Amino acid sequence: MTRADLFQQIQQKKSCLCVGLDTDINRLPKHLLKHKDPIFEFNKRIIDATKDLCVAYKPNIAFYEAMGAKGWESLAKTLDYIPDTHFTIADAKRGDIGNTSSLYARAFFDTLNFDAVTVAPYMGEDSVKPFLEFENKWVILLALTSNKGSQDFQFTKQEGEQPLYEKVMRKAMTWGNAEQLMFVIGATHPEKFEEIRAIAPDNFLLVPGVGAQGGDLQGVMKYGSNDMGGLLINSSRGIIYAGDGIGFAGKAQLAALRMQLQMG
């Protein structure tokens, strides 16, 4: 999916919502367990309930890998079910030496046909470049994450230097352009969005941490938007686990609607 295609979806739906499909077999409503593939059945109903309110879906690959071969099958079926109009993100956080990264890229872009994959930049340019070689596919680079441990390394700096997350962003922008490169910026750092927009005015930002992690949606919208919207704001647990009984999909829809209304 191109940048223009994604922007069109955001404009049409007045939404930059991304629904995270962090589907845990241990948290599924019990009535779904009778199905042959309860993971897919859950995802299918969440997609049906939220597809008119969001522009993207982000399966967290760990939840599917943990199920072995059945999990990969559920993931493939989920991807086939997501409408072609929606942007799909493999939240895989991959990154390795060049030949291995090339295989990761083939797995997520060619075999599974995701639009984007999250990539860890710690190993540098040759670990990221293979993901940037696919036409109309996206690298979403970890820059300033929403977890507590982001303080351990991402803010570190030598005297007079930029913090590490800023170095990562500036360096990565020499590898790829705004048509193929996004950054993960956690909503739990609302005070940083204005300066991050100054660093990367044109790039899309994938923003986790709104909802269950307590990120500030209004602050993100105010300081993180650009002329093309420029944001994909993710909510996972806050939407998909908004309800846990027979009516779980309806509760998910209401949770998604509450977020979408703040974005219109």
Q: Report the C-alpha gap between 146 and 81 in whole angstroms.
A: 29
DSSP state, residue 32: G
- H or E segment to which residue 92 belongs: strand 87-94
Amino acid, single-letter form, for residue 139 = V
Contact criterion met (CB below 8 Å) for 180 and 139: yes
Contact criterion met (CB below 8 Å) for 72 and 64: yes
Nearest to 168 by CA among 117, 203, 133, 212: 203
C-alpha separations of 64 from 59, 147, 181, 231 in Å: 8, 21, 25, 26
* Active site annotation includes 93: yes
Question: For the chain, what is the largest distance between any 2 Cα atoms, rounded to a whole number of angstroms?
Answer: 60
Number of continuous H segments (helices) and E segments (strands) in the chain: 12, 8
Q: Report the C-alpha gap between 42 and 77 in whole angstroms.
A: 12
Active-site position among 77, 93, 129, 167: 93
Reading the block at residue 227, the tokens are 């002329």
- The catalytic site residues sit at 93
